[in-house]
A and B are shown apart, each in its own frame.
Chain A
Amino acid sequence: MPAVENTIVICAGGACISAGEISVKESLENTLREYALDEVVRVVETGCMGACDLGPIMVIYPEGVFYQKLDSNNVKKVVEEHLLKGRIVKELLYTGPTGEVKEKPQEELPFFKKQVKIATRNLGVVDPLSIEEYIARDGYFALTKVIKEMNPEDVISELKKSGLRGRGGAGFPTGLKWEFARKATGDIKYVICNADEGDPGAFMDRAILEGDPHSVVEAMTIAAYTVGASKGFIYVRAEYPLAIERFSHALKKAREYGFLGENILGSEFSFDIEIRIGAGAFVCGEETALINSIEGKRGIPRVKPPYPAQKGLWGKPTLINNVETYANIPPIILHGGDWFAQFGVEGSRGTKVFALAGKVNNTGLVEVPMGISLRELIYEIGGGVPGGKKLKAVQTGGPSGGCIPEKHIDTPITYDTLKELGTIIGSGGMIVMDEDDCMVDVAKFFLEFTVEESCGQCTPCRDGTKRMLEILERITEGEGTEEDLETLKELSEHIMKTSLCGLGQTAPQPVMSTMRYFWDEYEAHVKEKRCPAKKCKALTRIVIDKEKCVGCTACARVCPVNAITGSVRNPHEIDPEICTRCGSCLEVCRFGAISKVSP
């Protein structure tokens, strides 16, 4: 046993790395060496802990003290104060929205306490580069159980009992999908992992691959054994280099230990996985486009049916699941389908990982039981809307989803309830919006994305969404007509009915759902040439209240286009012709004299 007494776990998820985790780790290791602590303090990099807005994060064990927002300078202080003198560095602890300081937020804060971690069970716990640590957390026990004790039908029956549905977006029952692939006839079958996560705002697949790659390797191997496949592919987008690196390492280790390759665990069963790197096209997340891409063809969708389970990769039966779906498999095998089904509600069993983003205090990844209400998710786990602003809506399911208005905040989150509200769980992106967000502008944002990412194969998606975007642009410019609103509705319906693949069929969703709940905002833009949220630049003006302005000149000094004029101690003025509505003056005025108005 090594002489290790303190273990420092640093979050090496993508968000923390962007926030400077690498320099923090270097500085930490240098300081440890300086104080001759490098042999007794172990530094472990782990996967995304979820609290991405607090990064870089580290937890010092055995005490479990959680430090946030580190940089290469203050980490030195942690070593000198905490490790050497046993004093906790208060200013680096987690501070809640109301100012309370927490030493061990992982146990105490609702952000962590309300979560149930199944798919993300090892994130923040294990070193993703250590297969031994994965094993210590029951890793590869499910595979061993499957190979030694279960036949494929048993696996499928546990999956059916669990009620697991695909976590990639469409929500198809996983047990059924595996059964179709098992029953399909073919000399060769394939297993694919879809890691082409492209939804704006969602990043749970990347986090799982970076933080717990072995769980996906294990699950894919179980899947191959179950459906009778001998070869697997994981399709990862090129934008995820760290995920690719850690997954490659996991593959290598799994082969060394005999969990992949010939005669797995001494049995007759052989299977191996190859990595395919996608070029970052959103459409390649669509399963048939992904299959085309692996075959070396252009990544455009195929007509379904036939479904991949019958005719997939190179025309052979193919099982394709998403990363998060796979990450749920080993715990289901180990603890049974009934165990998994105890979480969640009828029709939506287990947990779901959500990526909380937008106007919410705690942004990041959270895994919660299905059926939790949006209120719990946003207020208790997410810590509410910052700045005392009012919650307006939550956008779920990315570009294929829609908005849920504030009045439905107590709705439990399930596949069915969200469908009734005109949106979907989708991949689990959740963007919180407050009173300053314009819903027409939000719809425009998602349409821009779809237009950019449409593969162009079918006309409704390629041209239809383009026309819709042009109309939305007109409306936000204040040039929309009532006829435009009718055309938007018509186009939406046609595109949904006639597009070739799921992408086009759902592309108008953000427009449909914002029109459903925020019709008055569309009307205000068109009829009154007014943006109620004061967001659309063409429909807003910035004005100075002469009564409140003391003539401090702060606004005139920051204005990048010199639109503000006035002399010291006299009220200033803004020239609306020159003003670009950038809002810099709003931020610097200390007298509340500047405001936005519409029109």
Chain B
Amino acid sequence: MGKIKSLEELMKIKESTLKELKMRDTDKRGKIIVAMGTCGIAAGAKETLKAIVDILGEKGIDDIAVVQSGCFGLCDVEPTIEVRIGESEPIIYGHVTPSQAKRIVEQHILEGKVVSDLVVKRGEL
């Protein structure tokens, strides 16, 4: 890191670090829960989780929390993720590979449209 000489340079550091700090905020619009039971991890949930975090970061979405959980009990369709936005009913998606995760973020999180071909369950478990 070179020496800082202007307010603009300082602002840049502030903005990039704020993103990280914001991850600690509690008031989020919604959350994506990634099932990280043994079966989920075996089916690739760790890669899915990373893909979700990366794509949220790329798109600059900071009001969606990504939370890990244990097995949803849907072991045959792992990796599974649950998307909860505000008061609307939660959606569980199955077989979420990193590329499918990207689709879910783009369609469901950004446009508010459920990705119907991946849905395994609607509503509360």
Contact = CB atoms under 8 A, between A and B. Distances in A.
A130 B46 CA distance: 28
Contacts of A84: 36-37, 68-70
Contacts of B76: none
Contacts of B36: 84
Contacts of B20: 1-2, 4, 133, 136
B53 A5 contact: yes
Nearest to B36: A84
B29 to A, nearest CB: 12
Contacts of A256: 1, 3
Interface in A1-56: 1-7, 9, 36-37, 39-40
Interface string B13-48: 111111111011110100101001100010000100
Contact of B23 (A5, A107, A138): A5
Contacts of B53: 1, 3-5, 40
B50 A40 contact: yes
A6 to B, nearest CB: 7
B59 to A, nearest CB: 11
B27 to A, nearest CB: 9
Given A258-B5, A259-B4, A86 B24 contact: no
Nearest to B33: A86
Contacts of A138: 14
Given A135-B13, A266-B5, A5 B21 contact: no
A140 interface: yes
A1 B1 contact: no
B2, B6, B21, B33: residue with the most chain A Cβ atoms closer than 10 Å:
B21
B6 A266 contact: yes
A328 B57 CA distance: 34
Interface string A265-295: 1100000000000000000000000000000
A86 B7 contact: no
Given A84-B70, A257-B3, A266-B6, A9 B13 contact: no
Interface stretch (A58-66, A415-423, A442-450): A58-66
A467 interface: no
A86 B66 CA distance: 12
Given A4-B20, A40-B50, A86-B68, A62 B28 contact: yes
A309 B7 CA distance: 32
Interface string B64-105: 011111100000000000000000000000000000000000
A2 B19 CA distance: 11
Tell me which of B41, B49, B68 has the highest count of chain A C-beta atoms within 10 A of its own C-beta: B68
Given A3-B50, A3-B54, A133 B7 contact: no
Contact of B7 (A83, A87, A126, A144): A144
Interface string A120-145: 00000110001011011110110010
B23 A7 contact: yes
A136 B26 contact: no
Interface string A387-406: 00000000000000000000
A132 B19 CA distance: 11
B23 A61 contact: yes
Contact of B24 (A9, A130, A148, A259): A9
Contacts of B24: 7, 9, 61-62, 64
A77 interface: no
A407 interface: no
Contact of B13 (A64, A83, A132): A132
Nearest to B56: A1
Contact of A265 (B5, B17, B19, B65): B5
Contacts of B25: 61-62
Give the contact-size bracket for chain A.
Answer: 35 or more
A432 to B, nearest CB: 32
A64 B26 contact: yes
Contacts of A36: 41, 46
B23 A4 contact: yes
Contacts of A569: none
Contacts of A136: 13-15, 17-18, 20-21
Contacts of A4: 20, 23, 53
A4 B54 CA distance: 9
A266 B57 CA distance: 33
A104 interface: yes
Given A3-B53, A5-B67, A86-B69, A148 B7 contact: yes
A5 B66 contact: yes
Interface in A520-565: none
Contacts of A297: none
Contact of B17 (A62, A107, A132, A266): A132
Contact of B68 (A40, A61, A266): A40
A5 B68 contact: yes
Contacts of A107: 26
B76 to A, nearest CB: 20
A304 interface: no
A3 B49 CA distance: 8
Contacts of B13: 132, 135-136
A596 to B, nearest CB: 49
A266 B10 CA distance: 13
B18 A62 contact: no
A77 to B, nearest CB: 14
Interface in A64-123: 64, 83-87, 104, 107
Contact of A62 (B4, B65, B70): B65
Interface in A336-384: none
Contact of B10 (A1, A130, A141): A141
Given A40-B50, A135-B14, 19 more contacts: A1-B19, A3-B53, A5-B53, A5-B65, A7-B23, A36-B41, A39-B50, A40-B46, A40-B49, A61-B24, A62-B25, A62-B26, A63-B65, A86-B33, A104-B26, A125-B21, A135-B13, A136-B14, A148-B7
18 contacts: A1-B53, A1-B57, A4-B20, A6-B68, A36-B41, A40-B46, A40-B68, A61-B23, A62-B26, A62-B65, A86-B67, A133-B21, A136-B15, A136-B17, A144-B7, A144-B10, A258-B2, A266-B3
Leading 4 A-B pairs by shortest Cβ distance: A258-B3, A1-B57, A266-B5, A85-B70
Interface of B: 1-7, 10, 13-21, 23-26, 28, 31, 33, 36-37, 41, 46, 49-50, 53-54, 57-58, 65-70
